[in-house]
A and B are shown apart, each in its own frame.
Chain A
């Protein structure tokens, strides 16, 4: 785990990104539907064949495939991801406008989830079979089985309509707009993570070092927070990384329910309107976050687990 290792990992990320850019470009190139046509249609215009031809030339769609790809890649490297066909705006601007709300929502829902799932899962593990364990189980079951959009709608009905505490339609700017979508996303994750935390903690409680700590006169609370939790978090890291990745890709359903200006929302409409530049950029973003998160997870393992950092076999 050193600078060379990091440089190699970053290099790999770059290579994979270029590869993925090529693949998406090929797929888009092969896909049915003519973007020039789509561009007019999305603006409510029925174009003449001449207009379509002219647009194709303007977009460079009449050029050979490789020329198109190289041009596009060169532009990407300069931060220019093209112009959205359907919205007629630079893709970079569109992405950036959606990025910050998406990141906010992802982090907020993840933190909210951890604040509930970690104590709840720990309590359920420590008091196996108790009331709190059963409550946690019921809660988990609800969280896992209740569809996101339904929970979101219930939340809107209760909090916004009945109680009038929060606005129904979010703009993604203030904290009020963040709360309901974050709670909705957190709710589904809480179910899964409470079970995972419970399992991980139970597993750790069976380890010999817990007996060792008891033999040294450590209180159960110390054992739980200072010994068990730091070990139990390790198997959860990978999972957290995956969740963060999928959240940063946008959460279309929840964003639609709350009219939240996130990436998921945008991606769906980009796909349905054959907005190739937008779709391509979105796919690259997804690939990038998954690889970066993967790298961060590996770095965290090295930081949190000396057996990884100092190169031992566990």
Chain B
């Protein structure tokens, strides 16, 4: 429709100028043990664009996002189609290229960052390890400083204490902010987020969403966010992709999807939409 809905921010200028996709998923099919779980998915993400993937549980959202990061479980495989990122196919990257990509160009925030961190090592140690793996020349002290600065940017009170904590000692909201802080350290061109706010209460959800929007504004980071909260999607995204049973049901500008859903399914999702 005309005009953006209140609360949603306009994407940064440069997006509207630069139309070449950062990420291009082309007719991708992903199979687990030969059985397709996600079929014929096509999707472009331009620099700085926010794309929300919505759909019921089991519809294939996580599969899409993990395929992009090359982190499907060993039984999973992109069985046809292509994923192109910054102009090259991700399907024929070797291990070293994948490591480089994940260290510098693309990062991921999970639903529960706590579970994605080693339970017996301190947050700080793992943050420093991450920074020094990506940039081996950085000293431990420098890495620590940088990590604390990132945590501070995520509005985490007392970053020192967070660094000295173990994942289980932080609240869900704090853990998610740690996850985003780590994921944003190297200003990747693309941030993948798989239900980053699902485990949080409404206030915390809003805060995390605000922080991701700020990142896009400041760094021009493109974000691909999986959420089953259409409120979050409507608030954040420029583009919404609706999935059901491994297929893309609808894909289009947020306003269009929200105001004129072409599918009954999307309409029913909208009807049960929680407000943010």
Chain A interface bracket (under 10, 10 to 19, 20 to 34, 35 or more)? 20 to 34
Nearest-Cβ distance from residue B272 to partner chain A, whole angstroms: 29
- Give the chain A neighbours of B169 by CB distance below 8 A: 310, 312
Instruction: From A209, A217, A227, A307, give the contact of B115 (CB < 8 A).
Output: A209
Instruction: Verify if B182 is at the interface (C-beta below 8 Å from A).
Output: yes
Instruction: Verify if A135 is at the interface (C-beta below 8 Å from B).
Output: no
Nearest chain B residue, comparing its CB with the CB of A304: B120
* B99 and A219 contacting across the interface, CB-CB below 8 Å: yes
Within 8 A of A (CB), among B81-106: 95, 99-104
- Give the chain B neighbours of A6 by CB distance below 8 A: none
Instruction: From A208, A212, A218, A231, give the contact of B120 (CB < 8 A).
Output: A231
- Give the chain B neighbours of A218 by CB distance below 8 A: 99, 129-130, 133
- Give the chain A neighbours of B129 by CB distance below 8 A: 218, 222, 226
Q: What count of chain B residues pass the 8 Å CB interface test?
A: 30
Instruction: From A217, A304, A306, A312, give the contact of B99 (CB < 8 A).
Output: A217
* A214 and B166 contacting across the interface, CB-CB below 8 Å: no
Known contacts A212-B110, A307-B168, A310-B169: A217-B103 contact under CB 8 Å: yes
Determine the distance from Cα of A214 to Cα of B99 in the docked complex, in whole angstroms: 8
Determine the distance from Cα of A314 to Cα of B115 in the docked complex, in whole angstroms: 11
Instruction: From A211, A215, A226, A312, give the contact of B168 (CB < 8 A).
Output: A312
Instruction: Verify if B121 is at the interface (C-beta below 8 Å from A).
Output: yes
- Give per-residue flags for A36-53: 1 if the beta carbon is below 8 A from chain B beta carbons, else 0: 000000000000000000
Instruction: Verify if A230 is at the interface (C-beta below 8 Å from B).
Output: yes
Nearest-Cβ distance from residue A149 to partner chain B, whole angstroms: 40
Within 8 A of A (CB), among B165-197: 166, 168-169, 182
Instruction: From A217, A222, A227, A304, give the contact of B102 (CB < 8 A).
Output: A217
- Give the chain A neighbours of B116 by CB distance below 8 A: 208-209, 211-212, 215
Instruction: Verify if A70 is at the interface (C-beta below 8 Å from B).
Output: no
Determine the distance from Cα of A230 to Cα of B122 in the docked complex, in whole angstroms: 13
- Give per-residue flags for B116-160: 1 if the beta carbon is below 8 A from chain A beta carbons, else 0: 111111100000011001100000000000000000000000000
* B71 and A215 contacting across the interface, CB-CB below 8 Å: yes
- Give the chain B neighbours of A231 by CB distance below 8 A: 118-120
Nearest chain A residue, comparing its CB with the CB of B186: A217
Nearest-Cβ distance from residue B97 to partner chain A, whole angstroms: 11
Instruction: Verify if B232 is at the interface (C-beta below 8 Å from A).
Output: no
Looking at A215, A220, A226, A305, which has the most chain B CB atoms within 10 Å of its CB? A215
- Give per-residue flags for A287-314: 1 if the beta carbon is below 8 A from chain B beta carbons, else 0: 0000000000000000011110010101
Nearest chain B residue, comparing its CB with the CB of A227: B118
Known contacts A216-B182, A307-B168: A209-B119 contact under CB 8 Å: yes
Closest 3 pairs between A and B when the two form their complex, measured CB to CB: A212-B116, A217-B103, A217-B102
Q: A208-B115, A212-B117, A216-B107 are in contact. List 6 more A-B contacts (CB 8 A).
A: A209-B118, A215-B116, A217-B130, A219-B99, A220-B95, A304-B120
29 residue pairs A–B, Cβ–Cβ below 8 Å: A208-B115, A209-B115, A209-B116, A212-B110, A212-B113, A212-B115, A212-B116, A212-B117, A212-B118, A217-B100, A217-B104, A217-B133, A217-B134, A218-B133, A220-B95, A222-B129, A226-B121, A227-B118, A227-B121, A230-B118, A230-B121, A305-B120, A306-B119, A306-B122, A306-B166, A306-B168, A307-B119, A307-B120, A314-B119
A residues near B, CB below 8 A?
208-209, 211-220, 222, 226-227, 230-231, 234, 304-307, 310, 312, 314
